[in-house]
Chains A and B, each alone.
Chain A
Amino acid sequence: MRKPLLEFNDNGIYCPPGKFYIDPWKPVDDAVITHAHSDHARWGSKQYLAHHLSREVLYYRLGEISLRTIGYGETVVKNGVKISLHPAGHIIGSAQVRIEYKGEVWVVSGDYKLENDGVCEPFEPVKCHSFISECTFGMPVYHWKPQQEIHNNINQWWRQNAAEGKATVIVGYSLGKAQRILQHLDLSIGGVFTHGTIDNTHEALRRNGVQLNAATRITPDTPKEAFRNAIIIAPPSSAGTPWMRRFMPYDFGYCSGWMALRGAKRRRAADRGFVLSDHADWEGLITAIAATECETVYLTHGYTATFARYLSENGYDAHEAHTLYGDDEGGEAQAEALAAESENAALAEGDSL
């Protein structure tokens, strides 16, 4: 049997003939990066290849790295292996990586969603023999509504809060969700503010030539009155911290695919949960995989065992792959676990107060 073109080793997804890695989780000599989320783009490799629109965010997050960027559809050859990037529709600059060697084609999806979010280049299926797909939401209970409906709900909620003189705090991941929220706000309702972390990301994207709606960075000097009928976009890490107090009185909404389940929303103690995801839902995953016309699927992120079993029953040669991905939305499952644990730990500490 021929060796697979890509394999999962201790460092990441490795291409033996090409001698490069895709989204390695340990420092390597040569790294191809699907997108700038921290679980896919890690620090310490000697050189990086990514899409043009990932450039500034990668510099911002990883510092001085040796980086080459290319456009979608452009081909780079490494040791006889052809590499090209194709839109994944996940976040700005996100790409699927297509590998071709001696007529065999593999595609690494990175993270992806099928719906055009109006912010990043929409997903394009790429035909291949083997497909390494994420399956963060690979359970049939996840079914996304059209994003316009969600954005309308967000605006309506904001409008109502503004009418009641309350601030509106909306939480979403700083790379991806925050831009999606910002670009779909009804700016006639009130002012838009961003947490420093999100503003930093936005500055990086602007340096990359990305046009984004204007938003004001929150500083210790921002007057409290400015928040009254404004919307504040904040990262998940700020939820429930004293930083939020300055917005009182406010309503707090959480934007994530996990909000599809009542229990997940309850654990975050959000007033409102908006089911908005940058990952494919169940139907989306099945559609995307079918469109590749692949025979073999390797699954990363989330419900890999369940989804692999389902695909196997439906005629695919499907495998679970063990990776360290899943720090953005996918990682929220782990974050949830940690939250539950730390809640427990904190409670345990409470024993000895």
Chain B
Amino acid sequence: MKAFAQLFADLDETNKTNEKVRILKDYFVAVSDQDKIHTLALFTGRKPKRQINSTLVRTWAMEMAGIPGWLFEESYHVVGDLGETIALLLPGNTSSQDKSLAEWIEEINHLGNLDEEERRTWLRASWASMDQQERFVFNKVLTGSFRVGVSQNLIIKALADLSGLDTATLTHRIMGNWDPLTFSYPQLMQEQDASDDFSRPYPFYLAYAIQETSDQVKSAAQIGETLGDPADWQAEWKWDGIRAQAIRRGESFIWTRGEELATEKFPELHDFLADLPDGTVLDGEAICYSEGHPLPFNVLQTRIGRKNLSKKILAESPMVFIAYDCLEYQGEDTRGLPLTSRRKILEDLQLATRHPEAFMISPVVNFSGWEELYALRMQSREYHAEGFMLKKRSSVYQVGRKRGDWWKWKVDPLSVDAVMVYAQKGHGRRADLYTDYTFAVWDGDKLVPFAKAYSGLTDKEIGQVDHFIKRNTIEKFGPVRTVKPELVFEIGFEGINQSTRHKSGVALRFPRILRWRQDKKMEEADTIESLKAML
């Protein structure tokens, strides 16, 4: 694991993308295939199961560090990260070892067979054999709190450079339900067919926003200048649900955009999926829907937050799937077909379904010119939509966020998902509540603050967020609290400018909180690149 720990130290020491890719490549060349696949698993959020709960880890760390519990807790407050706190508090190592990452993970996975005293002995001996950096990385793996500082794209880029495979192929291969214990690096690199993993989704094709400019909302004429002949474009309403991929390959699987297998969360969709011909994959929006129209996003959010879907919840927030694309048909990857052909397949599938109440299709909005569409967009809210999706009729289904063929054209022109990092008390009526928040987006593994906003939450939400802040303060600086990054909010704004005064390099005009995204993990927040792309 020394190499893995060093990889972390090296990645920590540069803010430059190219440098990170080079470091990753050097690492992948140097370590065994087993370590490669384990690294890839960890870097893509496939953590080993947590075998020791963090209370025991803390207790044994305090014991070994020879400090009282209160001092351990204060140290944790200062450091803000459990794995790092423990690595710093333990006495220097008394031995060393050269176990690989794979060997350590194997030991961790076998802890289930040991009793508590054996685990304690094992953990103390393990810590005693590691230097500070190894301990830090090891603690993260052990406690299942592993979060990587590099975006998946960089890892894929490094592996693509090494293997000669293209990034789209690799992105697809590392999706889905694989386990580093049964899936090997050579397997990853080999030609594969779809039968390898029945549940594996395709990478989502994501669109940029079209009217994102620093100064003004684009006019119809400007849209026309950018996009050209309206006859080349298909417009659909942009729905405010959860982007999802529905898969039928012998069994049914539903993946959300956050690469979460969420089949069980959507029982209403099971019947229509089971009814689809084998070898079908649909892209669409899972959304709550009643009396002929979609329900507001917070209805869906309430439902997603629940562990158990009670009858009441199911009745209050019935779910449908509004499909807009077909990625696989009769077991064949259809992503290379033009949109018009994929749309035809999708329409045929939908016509054949016996469950049209759950399997809907996103209607194509007819328009003859950009002016007409522009006017229609202003009525989006009446259609319970956020605006339009514009898709080139000839477009293939691409991998990841790409410019050119697909655009989103929202009513609320600009927004990003961001993580709350600082909080400050409000004024007047809310003087004892934390109501002013500072938000950050990802820059590699770092969160860079870029906006401060206060309005937009309900009183109830403010109460909940305040409660969270008081329990998750890392540091206090006068009136400002540094808060454990965890909560995700959608931040809307009127404009964005370059700024040398801000660390993020951008300054927003009129930022405000659009909503609390309780359905999103902080890993899913946007990146500084996506903000800068709006300049």
Q: Which residues of A contact B (CB under 8 A)?
A: 139-143, 260-263, 266, 269, 271-272, 303, 306, 309-310, 313, 336-338, 340-341, 343-344, 346-348, 350-351, 353
Contact = CB atoms under 8 A, between A and B. Distances in A.
Given A337-B480, A346-B501, A260 B451 contact: no
Given A140-B71, A337-B475, 9 more contacts: A139-B74, A139-B75, A263-B81, A303-B74, A337-B477, A340-B477, A340-B482, A351-B452, A351-B453
Dominant secondary structure of chain B at its interface with chain A: mixed
Given A337-B480, A351-B511, A344 B438 contact: yes
B449 interface: yes
B507 A350 contact: yes
B503 to A, nearest CB: 7
Contacts of B379: none
B67 A353 contact: no
A309 B71 CA distance: 9
A353 B13 contact: no
A350 B75 contact: no
Contacts of B477: 336-338, 340-341
Contacts of A340: 422, 477, 480, 482
A234 B509 CA distance: 35
A260 B132 CA distance: 11
Given A263-B81, A346-B502, A350-B508, A306 B449 contact: no
B89 interface: yes
A140 B74 CA distance: 10
A262 B15 contact: no
Nearest to B508: A350
Contacts of A348: 452
A261 B509 CA distance: 34
B84 A262 contact: yes
A152 B449 CA distance: 34
A337 B502 contact: no
Contact of B75 (A140, A266, A341, A343): A140
B215 to A, nearest CB: 11
A350 B65 contact: no
A344 B78 CA distance: 20
Contacts of B79: 141, 261, 263
A261 B424 contact: no
Given A350-B499, A351-B452, A141 B68 contact: no
Contact of A141 (B85, B453, B495, B499): B85
B67 A140 contact: yes
B109 interface: no
A262 B84 CA distance: 8
Contact of B65 (A140, A261, A347): A140
Interface string B413-430: 000000000101000000
B80 A143 contact: no
Contacts of A344: 422, 424, 438, 449, 452, 480
Nearest to A252: B15
A306 B422 CA distance: 24
Contacts of B511: 350-351
Nearest to A350: B507
Max chain B C-beta neighbours (<10 A), residue from A272, A303, A343, A350: A350
24 contacts: A140-B67, A141-B88, A143-B88, A263-B79, A263-B81, A271-B15, A306-B74, A336-B477, A337-B475, A340-B422, A340-B480, A341-B478, A341-B479, A343-B438, A344-B438, A344-B480, A346-B502, A347-B449, A350-B508, A350-B511, A351-B452, A351-B453, A351-B508, A353-B495
Contacts of A309: 70
A337 B478 contact: yes
A313 B66 CA distance: 13
Contacts of A343: 438, 449, 502-503
A353 B80 contact: no
A203 B71 CA distance: 44
A108 to B, nearest CB: 26
B497 interface: yes
A340 B481 CA distance: 9
A266 B84 CA distance: 14
Given A337-B477, A353-B497, A272 B452 contact: no
B88 A350 contact: no
B78 A261 contact: yes
Nearest to A305: B74
